[in-house]
Structure 1
Amino acid sequence: MKTALKENPFSNRAIWLYTVAFVFYATNHMLIIALPFLSQTLGAGRSEIGMIMGSYMFVSMFLRPLAGAVVDRFGPKNIFMIALVLNAIVLASYSLEDLWAFAIMRALQGAILAFFSMTIHLLIIDLLSEKMRGQGLSLLSLSSMLPYTFVPALVLYMKDQISMTALLMIFAAMGVTNIVLGIRLYVTIGQQASKEDSKGSELQTVHDKKQASSVLFPAIIMLLASVVFSVAPTFLPLYLESQGLHSAPLYFLTETAVLIFIRFFGRKHIPSSETFPKWLVVLLIACFTLSPALLAMSISTPILLAAAVFNGLALSLLYPTLMTYISFIVPTHVRGYSIGWFIAAADFGTSSGAFMMGWLAETFSFETMLGTATCLGVATLILALIYHGGKKVAA
């Protein structure tokens, strides 16, 4: 029976984990939209709002490797529940409606995100067999991005219907709801490892962590990919508007539809082994390279749709494919630490990409920005072609 559960990415325990992830990220996406409006009503300027909102990803990015090491030592199950409880407390604290409180709570949420995201990745790895691991990670990433497709519109509607105070109370209620969901999952899953494994993890050495260096190449690929991925959501609407076009919603709807469809139905094609999926990675890199290249050539509707499809394909499979590969090649007792560096690389690529591409667009032109993104894609493609794949390190 236990084996059958591990072979099913839609087992009750797996679905419960996807649900917890969905609610957690839905709440966070709602805050991303609502908090700037509430901060503005309390007298915050644009720079203050930027600092409040930016502290979230900044803290999360730098804490991810540490979070991974902590989870490796104490196990994902306990850290999972602690993160949910702290998240609910932070969400309730927003009701103080004070700018200093907002800044502190937002930074704390970044820290909580670092630990929570680590635990759910490791839990789904533990819940499923090696054969099903790729599917589970794909479905988990799908559940975390689904809120992004509808939450912004929902919050913009709600802010005109109810007070911000009421909206913040809804966030607090969602935090409590997630604790209830988390408890249900907590009592149905076992600890990640036996006591012997735990003792082994306590004896980690510097050499153990050096073994995790096999994550370096996938992390570099994800960092460069994230820089290119940052172009469309940050600057495409501005670029199209500067050309007198208002077709950005069409692009994002198409991209999102492709992302959801492929991440769900294409999950079975994610390799679930310690062999580097070279040609799949090369194909996905080619897709996200073609997207800005097409936009640099033309922004006609057919080209725009083609660029959205290519970008959606790359977004849907690259992250879960590389994450699955990493989960096989690093030692079990430093898996969280290694995954932490990988996710931090993706975060850094997104944040630094937005800054770098913004500078290029302002200093030169949007076309130069798209050309640079294309060149980065080509460089990433060359790296993938010459890479021979890492080898699994013994645990």
Structure 2
Amino acid sequence: MKGALSLPFLRLYGLTLLYFSANAILNVFIPLKGESLGAANTTIGIIMGAYLFTTMLFRPWAGLLIQKYGPIPVLRAILVMNGLALSTYTFTGLEGYFVARMMQGVCTAFFSMALQLGLIDALPDKERSQGISMYSLCAAIPGIIGPLLALGMWQTGETYVFTAAMITIALLTCGVGFSAKMDRNASKPTGGSIKQGAAMLQSFGQLVKNPYLFKCSMLMLIASLVFGSVTTFIPLYAAQIQNGNAAIYLMLQAGIVVAARFVLRKKIPSDGKWHSAFVTTIMLLLAIAAQSVSFSITGGVVFFYAGAVLMGVAQALLYPTLTTYLTFVLPQESRNVLVGLFIAMADLGVSLGGVIMGPVADLYSYSFMYTLCAILSALMLFFAYERRQ
């Protein structure tokens, strides 16, 4: 393994694309299914939020177990469990969906940590941000076509189409995953003990004590809350916008994420310094995007899709920027666990986007909910700004 675009890494990126394909379909299919069964926004939000809330809880443990056993053994075991979770969607209702979302959450915690920590360890410092960006890019690519496939499956009304899609994705993911390899230095087990587990539990305090981790976690939490509210409720909100289409919105946002992460991957800072203007601009774009989506109920579909473009740019740049920065400034001996905590905050934010914003939408409206998202994003400008010393 040499560069971030060498053949072994390209295989890992392909595995990432396959793994997240199912979720790109489910993100649209589940809200539509829930609404058809008469479920409230609160219920839909809880089912959708269960996925990344579970992921958040297991992220730190995933970091510890990967550090102990290496990424490849963990990856293979988790792909089998993911296949069982996808199979569960094919024969259950909303209650079963809730269980399957939690199973997926556990799988994603280990899958993404194994891939990202493996990339971080295997790549040289100067290419680390490119590797993380490529991983994030491939995780986003399914969002381009997934929503359209989900709407097509839903409109056909044939359950066997959805069943066939879930089973096919599960089998392909296992096939590619079991043939994947990582650099020996990256996958070499480092051992573990009860003391490591105790140290991991103590590391939760670093979310507040470590100023670098605290700042990045707060920014990622709020940004992810906005992203989560879009993923969960755009399939329902689009129906209220004249000429609005949820599939087009989600495909446009995902397309911008993919394009921006590829075109701008070398622009993402990879020097261990805090680039205040860069991060502040990203958060400002996020605030404008959320407000554009909110205003589209009055202003029309142009604001709706403009919000998708701006949201895509912000989503493309924020996560790899903050993750790369943390890999430089966090202590080496606890880096894996602390990065896991940071990613867990991102998961928590997406989960809260459904769980908290669902009741807000029930009590007020989708438009009000997205205005609230814009206000929260604007408040994060104070976290992003840092006066140059």
Structure 1 window deviating more from structure 2 (336-345 vs 112-121): it is 336-345
CA–CA separation in structure 1 for the residues paired with 2:94 and 2:238? 35
Deviation of 1:127 (Å): 2.9
Decide whether the 8 Å contact of 1:75 with 1:193 is kept in 2: yes
Deviation of 1:355 (Å): 4.3
Unaligned runs of 5+ in 1: 390-395
Match of 1:10, SS state, is coil
Residue number in structure 2 paired with 1:320: 320
Alignment of 1:66-77 (within 5 A): 66-77=61-72
Q: Structure 1 residues 201, 221: closer, same or farther in 2, change over 3 A?
A: farther
CA–CA separation in structure 2 for the residues paired with 1:98 and 1:378? 39
Residue number in structure 1 paired with 2:254: 256
Decide whether the 8 Å contact of 1:55 with 1:106 is kept in 2: yes
Q: Structure 1 residues 230, 33: closer, same or farther in 2, change over 3 A?
A: closer
Deviation of 1:286 (Å): 1.4
Match of 2:270, SS state, is coil
Instruction: Tell me which of 39, 42, 66 is aligned to 1:46.
Output: 39
CA–CA separation in structure 1 for the residues paired with 2:92 and 2:197? 43
Does residue 227 of structure 1 match 2:225? Answer: yes
Q: Structure 1 residues 230, 114: closer, same or farther in 2, change over 3 A?
A: closer
Deviation of 1:226 (Å): 1.9
Residue number in structure 1 paired with 2:73: 78
Does residue 9 of structure 1 match 2:4? Answer: yes
RMSD: 3.7
The letter of the residue matching 1:334 is S
CA–CA separation in structure 2 for the residues paired with 1:371 and 1:25? 29
Deviation of 1:138 (Å): 1.0
Deviation of 1:362 (Å): 4.7
Decide whether the 8 Å contact of 1:134 with 1:270 is kept in 2: yes
Deviation of 1:231 (Å): 4.6
Does residue 336 of structure 1 match 2:351? Answer: no
Does residue 206 of structure 1 match 2:199? Answer: yes
CA–CA separation in structure 2 for the residues paired with 1:96 and 1:241? 28
Residue number in structure 2 paired with 1:271: 269
Decide whether the 8 Å contact of 1:68 with 1:118 is kept in 2: yes
Match of 1:290, SS state, is helix
Instruction: Tell me which of 146, 150, 153 is aligned to 1:151.
Output: 146
> Normalising to structure 2: TM-score of the pair?
0.81
CA–CA separation in structure 2 for the residues paired with 1:274 and 1:91? 39
Alignment of 1:130-149 (within 5 A): 130-149=125-144
Instruction: Tell me which of 184, 189, 194 is aligned to 1:190.
Output: 184
CA–CA separation in structure 1 for the residues paired with 2:302 and 2:85? 45
Deviations 1:127-165 (A, max 9, x none): 321111111111111111211221232244346669534
CA–CA separation in structure 2 for the residues paired with 1:230 and 1:381? 20
Q: Structure 1 residues 53, 372: closer, same or farther in 2, change over 3 A?
A: closer
The letter of the residue matching 1:382 is F
Deviation of 1:223 (Å): 0.7
Deviation of 1:119 (Å): 0.8
The aligned length equals: 380
Residue number in structure 1 paired with 2:214: 216
CA–CA separation in structure 2 for the residues paired with 1:277 and 1:354? 31
Unaligned runs of 5+ in 2: none
CA–CA separation in structure 2 for the residues paired with 1:375 and 1:49? 24
Q: Structure 1 residues 320, 379: closer, same or farther in 2, change over 3 A?
A: same
Q: Structure 1 residues 245, 215: closer, same or farther in 2, change over 3 A?
A: same
Q: Structure 1 residues 272, 202: closer, same or farther in 2, change over 3 A?
A: farther
Instruction: Tell me which of 54, 58, 63 is aligned to 2:58.
Output: 63
The letter of the residue matching 1:315 is Q
Q: Structure 1 residues 106, 236: closer, same or farther in 2, change over 3 A?
A: closer
Deviations 1:82-130 (A, max 9, x none): 1112223444455665877655444222211111111111122123211
